[in-house]
Every structure is written in C-alpha cells, then in structure tokens.
Amino acid sequence: MIFRAKYAILNDRTIIEDGAVVLCGSKIREVGRYTEIRDLYPAKVVDLGSAVIMPGLVNTHTHLELTHHKNLVNHYARFTDWLFQITTRSNCDDCQQINQAILDGIQLSLAGGATTIGNIHSSGKGLETLRNSQIRKVVFLETLGLSSHVFADESARISKTLKSLRNDDLFTTAVTPHAPYSTSANLYQYCAEIAKSDQLHLSTHIAETKAEIEFLQYGTGEFAELLNMLNISLDAWNPPGVTPIAYLRKLGILDLQPLLAHCNYLTDNDIDLLARSGSSVAFCPRSHKYFSHTNHSIMRLIAAGVNVSIGTDSLASNWSLSMLDELKFLADNYEELLPETLISLLTINGTRSLKLKYIGKLEKNWQADLIAIGISDDGRPVFDQICDQASENLMTVVAGTICYRNENLEI
Ligand SMILES: [Zn+2]
C-alpha cells in the first residue's frame, strides 16, 4: 500500500511536498516524493489529499486505567486533595470498569495521533486487554507503599505479574515505583534490582510539586497530611533531606537511565544530574497547566542535553488524551520551542524515552507507525497548518495496520 499526501514530514528536519510512504507489512519500504517512487512500487495508492503524513506521536506518560475518572474527580487546587480522590475512587473500580477504561483510552489515544504510549498500570486488572490492543505500548507496572510491612507483598506481586507477561512487537513490560512520597526506599531499590537483572525500563513520578520537595526535605506538609488521612504510617519514613532528583541518585535509580515523569521543580544541580545520568524526562504540558504549575524547566533541560518527551498524563488531569492537542498547546504556549524541536519532542525523543527502536521517523525499514493530519492547505508553513485549531488527525497506522480512521476520511 502507498499513502500519498500533499506533504510528508519524515523527521524533525525533512518535509517533502507530494509525499508518499510505501508500506510492506509492518514496515516502511520506501519514503519520498510520490512522482519519484510511484512507478517503482506497483501497489494500491491511498491519496489522502490535503494532509500531512508524519511519524506517529509518542505519548510517554499516560494512565489509561483513569480514562473514566474525567467526570469522577473534582478539580482541586492542591495536588494532594486531587490525589486523595483518585486513590479512594480507584480502589472501587472493578475489572470490567478498568477494561472499558483501557479500551476507551486506547481509542482516544489513537484518534489523537498516538501510535505508541508509555502507560502506567497500577491495578493489575485489564492487562490482557492492554496486551491485545493494536497500539504500541510500554507498560510500566506500578508499585507503591511507604510502610515496611507492604514491601513483601508488593515486591512479590510485581515479580509474579512480570513473570506472567510475555513481550511482543507491540508490548513491552517495565516497572515504575510510583513516587518518593508514596514508595519506600526499599521498594525503589527492589525495582532497580529487577530492572537491572531483567533489563527492564524504569519510570517514576518525580519533582512534581513543591509539597513533594518539602516532604523529602523535612517530612512535613501536604503529603504528611495526605498519608495521615489515608491511615498510612510514617514510622518507616526518614526524610532524605535532599531534592527529589538527588534522592533518586542516592537510591541508584539514575544509574538506570530512567524515564522521569513531570520534573516540574528542578534546581540547576538536578538538571546537571539528569544530563550526566542520561535520564529522560516526560513533560506533561497540559497536566502541568491543570495543576497551575508555572515555569517548567523544559528549556533548561533541552539546553543541558536532557532527552525530553511529552505525555498527556491521564484524563483525571487533562482535557483530552490527544497528542495532537498537546502539540497545539505547546505551539501556542511555548513560543520559544521551534517547530523542529516540537516534532522531536513528540516523536523521536519519545522513542528514546521509552527505549524503543525504529519508530519516530518515516524511514526505510523502520516500523510503519504513522499518522495523517488533515490541513486546510492555505499556503501557510506546513507546521503552522498542523498546529491550527482546525487541523485534525485523519488516520493512525501502527505497524502497518490502520487502527483509526476519521469519519471524514474516504479511503
Ligand atoms: Zn502520572
């Protein structure tokens, strides 16, 4: 099959007019100008018209289990109040509800232009649904628990779940100790050990709020209150007295080149530690706005050479799971980010963040993961047209399979 469109963006540097991508099974066989390749490959041509074919977007931080929480949780100014709602509500979700939330989350992700997701999975329910879905995914199995008596159960649960899952072309397992205010040093180190021995990727939520910094420094503040409300004992908690990033270094987590979600509050020294360790950051721009955070360190991180990618986070703290919406939001609100940087953030940087290969560019022999963005073709630069509010994703292809098509697309 050959997809043809007015434009094709092959990577952050290359845009071609009258672009075409030739597919062969799950891979890309050729990319280039349509007129130059049409005679070389006798295949069915799908002409997408006024559209831009580009690499599928990589959402490096989401929680599909929370897809239905959009209308269930209230918007609170304090992160810990929000987290209290999530924690108490999630405990009530049954298997069927979680399955449906995952299915709906996958459809919304595909419709919004994501071909790959880094999904945090906490309940253990619905894993088969996730595994059998057509989207490419790295599934970070989540563990948490501050009290010492939780450790044995949680470490055994994670080991057992990992053993029960087999990776395939679209499914990769990984681990995620939740966050330093919810997860003991022992659990962090346990995750580090299995990540090392089983060669698994590791992610964690880190430096998300000022309250987290206070809790790690002094053991006081909103998180102490939250844990108290949840009847979680702080007996085993010894505040390390350092920043969240320095704490991860102390625990040996940074040696694993982890994927660090949020990183909303960083010192210069933290950024230096991240750059030297080769860690990646998943910045969630609209979730950042949802909680009224300001001045994310994204420009400082990029300048320091840290690999930054983009996540939507969940529908409990975002207005949609669309990565195209995330791109438009970034283009509108982070004018200092150049178009080519934005393309990298949402594509190849995501590939690196998830430690995957052969996705994030349209290139010969790479995976056929691509999308087609419908544009008005009004003569403006291609990137401006993609970021126009009226643009929409027409089609999402994962590993050569059309997984989503817009109702306006006639093919
Ligand atoms: Zn998250």
Question: What pLDDT, in 10s, does the model give residues 178-221?
Answer: 999 999 999 999 999 999 999 999 999 999 999 999 999 999 99
Comparing 81 with 116, the larger pLDDT belongs to 116
Q: Is residue 138 part of a domain?
A: yes
Whether residue 74 is predicted with pLDDT greater than 90 in this model: the reply is no
> Sign (positive/negative) of CA torsion 67, 176, 277, 253?
positive
pLDDT tens per residue across span 261-281: 999 999 999 999 999 999 999
By residue range, what is the domain housing residue 328?
57-353
- The mean pLDDT value for 158-180 works out to 96
Residues 120 and 33 in one domain: no
Whether residue 24 is predicted with pLDDT greater than 70 in this model: the reply is yes
Comparing 313 with 72, the larger pLDDT belongs to 313
Residue 43 DSSP symbol: -
pLDDT tens per residue across span 237-255: 999 999 999 999 999 999 9
Ligand 1 geometric centre to CA of 69 (Å): 13
> Of 353, 369, 397, which marks where a domain is finished?
353
Residues 156 and 116 in one domain: yes
Residues 51 and 62 in one domain: no
User: Side chain identity at 117, as an amino acid letter?
Assistant: I
Ligand 1 geometric centre to CA of 320 (Å): 14
Ligand 1 geometric centre to CA of 104 (Å): 18
Q: What percent of the chain has pLDDT over 70?
A: 99
Q: Is residue 411 part of a domain?
A: no
Strands 401-405 and 392-398: antiparallel
CATH number of the domain residue 390 falls in: 2.30.40.10
Whether residue 89 is predicted with pLDDT greater than 80 in this model: the reply is no
The Cα–Cα gap between 51 and 19 comes to 10
- The DSSP secondary structure of 383-398, one letter per residue, reads HHHHTSTT-EEEEEEE
Mean pLDDT, the chain, rounded, equals: 95
Ligand 1 geometric centre to CA of 244 (Å): 16
The Cα–Cα gap between 30 and 16 comes to 14
Residues 190 and 42 in one domain: no
Ligand 1 geometric centre to CA of 291 (Å): 13
Residues 236 and 264 in one domain: yes
Residues 36 and 177 in one domain: no
Residue 91 has a pLDDT of: 66
CATH number of the domain residue 348 falls in: 3.20.20.140
Ligand 1 geometric centre to CA of 261 (Å): 7
Residues 199 and 231 in one domain: yes
Residues 120 and 34 in one domain: no
Q: Is residue 410 part of a domain?
A: no
Q: Say if residues 6 and 380 touch (Cβ distance below 8 Å).
A: no
Residue 92 has a pLDDT of: 65
Ligand 1 geometric centre to CA of 383 (Å): 29
Residues 105 and 31 in one domain: no
Residues 154 and 187 in one domain: yes
Ligand 1 geometric centre to CA of 29 (Å): 36
- 71 pLDDT band, cuts 50/70/90, is confident
The total domain count for the chain is 2
Ligand 1 geometric centre to CA of 287 (Å): 9
- 119 pLDDT band, cuts 50/70/90, is very high
Residues 192 and 107 in one domain: yes
- 257 pLDDT band, cuts 50/70/90, is very high
The Cα–Cα gap between 45 and 154 comes to 52
Residue for token pair 């721009």: 285
- The mean pLDDT value for 67-89 works out to 85
Whether residue 93 is predicted with pLDDT greater than 80 in this model: the reply is no
- Through-space distance between the first and last CA atoms of the chain, rounded to whole angstroms: 12
Sequence-ordered alpha helix ranges (H) in 292-369: 298-303, 323-333, 339-346, 348-353
Ligand 1 geometric centre to CA of 282 (Å): 10
Residue 108: C-alpha distances to residues 60, 236, 391 (Å): 15, 41, 16
Burial of residue 210, with CB atoms counted within 10 A of its CB: 0-12 exposed, 13-18 middle, 19 or more buried? middle
> Of 337, 353, 369, which marks where a domain is finished?
353
Q: Is residue 121 part of a domain?
A: yes
Residues 128 and 230 in one domain: yes
Residue 148 has a pLDDT of: 85
Ligand 1 geometric centre to CA of 121 (Å): 10
